[in-house]
C-alpha cells in the first residue's frame, strides 16, 4: 500500500453459529457494537462495522451463523448471511480451532460456492489448542481449498486481530472512504439499543428462554433540559410462560435486565439514560412472516 493510494472496501465475516464472528468484529473495532452470547443465532441482521487504518477503510459485515434452517426466522437469517457475501471485496471464513476440518467441509463448500473474491480462513480460539494441533489444522484446511491467507487468532483476547486487519487491507481495491472516519457503524442508535437489551435477556435468563426473543424500541427521546435520554422498549416473547420468566418473581428479573442494559447503553451513548421495559407476548412470532417483517427480519 503506497502513501498516495487509499484502499477501501467491504469484508464479510461468515461461518457457523457461535464461532465468534461478533466477538471478532468487536475486537477489530475496539468497541462493542454487536451483541454476543453463547446462544446460537444471536446475530440476526447484517451488521456493518467501520474500521479506519492509515491509508484505508474497511467496512466489516458481521452475519448470522449459517446452519440448517427450519423456522422462517432461521431461514431468514441464513439468507441474510449468504446475501452478505454478494458484492464484497474479501470474505473471512471463520472456524474454531477446536472443530474438525472434515465437519466444516460441506458448509464451507456451500457458502463459498461461486465466490471469486479473496477468501481468508480465520481460525479463532487458538488459545484453546496446542501449537502442534494448530499447525496440523492449518495444513488440513489448506488442502481443502486455496485460501489467500490462513490467519490464526483469539478474538476474545485480541491476539492476532491486528495482523488480520493488515491482511484484509492489502486485498482491498484503491478507492475513497465510504464513511466519515469518526463513526463505528452505520446502524441507527435505536437498533444498537434494542440489541443490547436483547443480549441481557439472553445472558440473565440463560437456558430458560429460547433465542426467539425480539426487542422493539417504542420511543427514544432526548431531554436536553435534564441531560437524560428516555427510552421505552418492549421485550417480545412467544408464550405466557416465557413472559413470566423474563419478568421474574416480583419483577426482579426484569429489573436486573433493565439495570444491566441501561449501564451498557449509557456507555454506548455517553449520556445518562432512563430505561423503561415492558414484556409482551406475540405467539409464535418467529414463524410468522408479518411479525418477522414488523420486528425487522
| Higher per-residue confidence, 258 vs 268 | 258
pLDDT of amino acid 78: 52
Whole-number Cα distances in Å, 173 to 1, 49, 118: 10, 18, 12
User: Predicted confidence band at 2 (pLDDT cuts at 50, 70, 90)?
Assistant: very low
Q: Could you give the 3-state DSSP secondary structure of residue 204? A: helix
Q: Is 47 helix (H, G, I), strand (E, B) or coil?
A: strand
Among the listed ranges 45-49, 87-91, 165-169, which one has the minimum average pLDDT value? 45-49
> Is residue 242 a contact partner of residue 254, using CB atoms and an 8 Å limit?
no
pLDDT (0 to 100) of residue 185: 84
Cβ-Cβ contacts under 8 Å for 133 (sequence gap 6 or more):
97
Residue 163 in this model has a pLDDT that exceeds 50:
yes
pLDDT for position 161 = 96
Q: Which of residues 110 and 149 earns the better pLDDT score?
A: 149
Specify the residue for cell string 418473581: 249
pTM of the model: 0.70
- 277 DSSP β-pair partners: 233
Query: How many percent of the chain have pLDDT more than 90?
Result: 51
E strand residue ranges, the chain? 7-15, 47-53, 56-62, 90-96, 119-124, 149-152, 214-223, 228-237, 272-281
For position 218, what pLDDT does the model report? Answer: 93
Sorted by sequence, the CB contacts under 8 Å of residue 234 that are 6+ apart come out as 215, 216, 218, 277, 278, 279, 280
User: Which carries the bigger pLDDT value, residue 176 or residue 225?
Assistant: 176
At 103-115, the pLDDT tens digits run 888 888 878 888 8
Residues 182-240 pLDDT 10s: 888 887 888 889 989 988 998 898 767 766 788 999 999 988 888 899 999 999 999 99
3-state helix, strand, coil in the chain (%, to 5): 40, 25, 35
Mark 168-183 as b/e (b = at least 16 C-beta within 10 Å): bbebbeeeeeeeeeee
HSE-up of residue 273 (Cα within 13 Å, Cβ side): 24
Specify burial of residue 91 (Cβ count, 10 A radius: 0-12, 13-18, 19+).
buried
Lowest mean per-residue pLDDT among 65-79, 166-180, 211-225, 228-242: 65-79
Quick one: pLDDT at residue 1? 44
Which residues neighbour 208 within 8 Å (Cβ) at sequence distance 6 or greater? 245
Residue of 143 and 287 predicted with greater confidence: 143
Residue 126: name the closest of 160, 164, 166 by CA: 160
* CA–CA dist 280, 260 (Å, integer): 20
Parallel/antiparallel/unpaired status of strands 272-281 and 228-237: parallel
**Which domains does the chain show, CATH number per domain?**
7-170 (3.40.50.300), 189-294 (3.30.300.20)
The C-alpha cell 472512504 sits at 177
In angstroms, how far is the first alpha carbon of the chain from the final one? 39
Amino acid at each position: 500500500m503506497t502513501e498516495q493510494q487509499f484502499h477501501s472496501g467491504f469484508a464479510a465475516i461468515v461461518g457457523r453459529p457461535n464461532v465468534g464472528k461478533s466477538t471478532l468484529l468487536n475486537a477489530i473495532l475496539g468497541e462493542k457494537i454487536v451483541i454476543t452470547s453463547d446462544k446460537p443465532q444471536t446475530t440476526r441482521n447484517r451488521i456493518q462495522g467501520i474500521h479506519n487504518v492509515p491509508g484505508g477503510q474497511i467496512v466489516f459485515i458481521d452475519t448470522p451463523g449459517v446452519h440448517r434452517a427450519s423456522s422462517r426466522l432461521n431461514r431468514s437469517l441464513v439468507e441474510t448471511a449468504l446475501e452478505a457475501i454478494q458484492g464484497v471485496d474479501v470474505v473471512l471464513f471463520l472456524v474454531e480451532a477446536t472443530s474438525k476440518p472434515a465437519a466444516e467441509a460441506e458448509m464451507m463448500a456451500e457458502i463459498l460456492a461461486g465466490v471469486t473474491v479473496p477468501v481468508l480462513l480465520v481460525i479463532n480460539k487458538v488459545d484453546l489448542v496446542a501449537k502442534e494441533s494448530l499447525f496440523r489444522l492449518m495444513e488440513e484446511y489448506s488442502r481443502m481449498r486455496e485460501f489467500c491467507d490462513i490467519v490464526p487468532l483469539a478474538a476474545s483476547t485480541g491476539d492476532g486481530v491486528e495482523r488480520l486487519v493488515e491482511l484484509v487491507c492489502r486485498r482491498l481495491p484503491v478507492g475513497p472512504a465510504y464513511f466519515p472516519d469518526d463513526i463505528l457503524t452505520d446502524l441507527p442508535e435505536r437498533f444498537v439499543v434494542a440489541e443490547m437489551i436483547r443480549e441481557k435477556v439472553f445472558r440473565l435468563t440463560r437456558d430458560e428462554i429460547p433465542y426467539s426473543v425480539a426487542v422493539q424500541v417504542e420511543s427514544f427521546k432526548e431531554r436536553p433540559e435534564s441531560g437524560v435520554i428516555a427510552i421505552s422498549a418492549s421485550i417480545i416473547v412467544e408464550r405466557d410462560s416465557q413472559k413470566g420468566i423474563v419478568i421474574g418473581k416480583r419483577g426482579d428479573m426484569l429489573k436486573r435486565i433493565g439495570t444491566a442494559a441501561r449501564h451498557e447503553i449509557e456507555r454506548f451513548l455517553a449520556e445518562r439514560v432512563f430505561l423503561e421495559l415492558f414484556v409482551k407476548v406475540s405467539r409464535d412470532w418467529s414463524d410468522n412472516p408479518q411479525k418477522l417483517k414488523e420486528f425487522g427480519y
